[in-house]
Amino acid sequence: MAGTRQRGGGRRGRPTLEEVAARAGVGRGTVSRVINGSPKVSDRTRTAVQRAVAELGYVPNLAARALAGNRADAVALVIPEPETRLFAEPYFSDIIRGVGAALADTDLQLLLTLVRTTKERQRLADYLRAHRVDGVLLASVHADDPLPDLLDRIGMPAVLSGRRSADEPVPYVDADNLGGARAAVAHLLARGRRTVATITGPPTLYAARCRLDGYRDALRAAGREPAPDLVEAADFTEEGGRRAMRALLDRRPGLDAVFAASDVMAAGARRALRETGRRVPEDVALVGFDDSVIARHMDPPLTSVRQPTEEMGRVMARSLVEQIEGGRTGCGRPAPRPQLVLPTELVERRSTS
């Protein structure tokens, strides 16, 4: 049987690259090119090598390949947030799902890294300077985060989920936060709501600032000047949303609509409204952002701005792979540096009807 020759009565060791070459009738370098996906091989030769690989049961030594090619065959997904946010917010699980799906057909291993302290950030920086991975995906990037600039300086392929500012120089994939917030608030105004408040995210996140700007733009477009006492910042957590809602009600008990900058905060706002005897949507209409599973299972179901989070993860990963492969070709072509903004969509449910 092919691939089961024996030495001294015992089963031989794992097949070698040389044995595959001999079986296919080609040189060792040709086998290496086929295994590494090089286009500089004829279809006939590629078929012969692939047949020999299958017959001998050859398994490439990925560690040796990586060392020889000066690469790690791994990418890091870095989330600079505590575990509480990672597991509480569907946003992160959707990003991870999309990234994993895009990398499933590649040879790249995905490493999930949480950065919660200054020490962890320094340790990660040292790890990246040593090029222990081939590229980095960075989610939930804050305005003062130095990591994207470090990646740029050391020439590490990287793609951000979101941006630090409108002038972000590092490749990114983002959602239309500004347009989504405008649509949410315009919807509330079209429903006849007159006193529309908002619960914003942390101002260090560009996405949160864009959603606040969209809220203000929609009010001004309707001829209403935004009132500072109808704005309350929170931290994208449910408890933060509850506290923010209580603060808004203390200042403006007659408010009749709220745009929360995330579904998780909207869930917290819903708790506070219930605690104070207010009905949704009869007394206060409520809109969230993300269109996560939370929105569909709230009572009543939550009107929310859908951002294509899982698709963002897929596009991020595909863009990173293109950068990595572009850097390996050596053909003089610059690796693509995408800066993409994907559209959002308002999904209407009973929390505003």
**DSSP assignment of 305-353:** EE--HHHHHHHHHHHHHHHHHHHHH-SSPPPP--EEEE--EEE--GGG-
Position 199 scores a pLDDT of 98
Give residue limits of the domains in the chain. 6-60, 74-174+310-342, 177-306
Closest-CA residue to 243 (of 200, 277, 293): 200
Can you tell me which residue has the tokens 């009600």? 249
Angle between helix 309-329 and 90-103 (nearest 10): 40
Single-letter residue type at 127: Y
Q: How many CB atoms lie within 10 A of CB 351?
A: 23
Q: How far apart are CA 316 and CA 322, in angstroms?
A: 10
Q: How far apart are CA 179 and CA 123, in angstroms?
A: 38
Same topology between domain 6-60 and domain 74-174+310-342: no
Per-residue pLDDT of the chain (353 residues; tens, 9 = 90+): 344 444 444 445 678 878 889 999 998 878 877 876 667 788 889 899 889 888 888 776 554 554 445 567 899 999 988 888 888 889 999 999 999 999 988 888 999 999 888 888 889 998 898 888 999 999 988 888 889 988 988 889 999 999 999 999 999 999 999 999 999 999 999 999 999 999 999 999 999 999 999 999 999 999 999 999 999 999 999 999 999 999 999 999 999 999 999 999 999 999 999 999 999 999 999 999 999 999 999 999 999 999 999 999 999 999 999 998 876 444 445 555 679 999 999 999 999 98
Position 13 scores a pLDDT of 64
Position 89 scores a pLDDT of 86
Burial class (CB in 10 A: 0-12, 13-18, 19+), 168: middle
Listed in sequence order, the residues at least 6 apart from 170 whose beta carbon sits closer than 8 Å to its beta carbon are 148, 149, 151, 152, 158, 159, 160
Structure tokens at 209: 């600032």
Closest-CA residue to 316 (of 78, 149, 83): 78
3-class state of residue 33 by DSSP: helix
Task: Please tell me the pTM assigned to this model.
Answer: 0.78
Q: Does 60 sit behind a cis peptide bond, omega within 30 degrees of 0 on the bond before it?
A: no
CA dihedral (262, 252, 255, 247) in degrees, to 10, reads: 20
Tell me: domain 74-174+310-342, CATH 3.40.50.2300, correct? yes
CA dihedral (133, 310, 206, 193) in degrees, to 10, reads: -170
- CATH H-level superfamily of 6-60: lambda repressor-like DNA-binding domains (1.10.260.40)
Closest-CA residue to 186 (of 232, 220, 139): 220
3-class state of residue 10 by DSSP: strand
How far from 235 is each of 99, 195, 204, 252, 326, CA to CA, in Å? 25, 23, 10, 21, 38
For β-strands 6-7 and 10-11, DSSP reports them as: antiparallel
Options 3.40.50.2300, 3.40.50.300, 3.40.50.620, 2.160.10.10; CATH of 177-306 = 3.40.50.2300
Closest-CA residue to 139 (of 281, 214, 73, 236): 236
Question: CB of 101 within 8 A of CB of 314?
Answer: yes
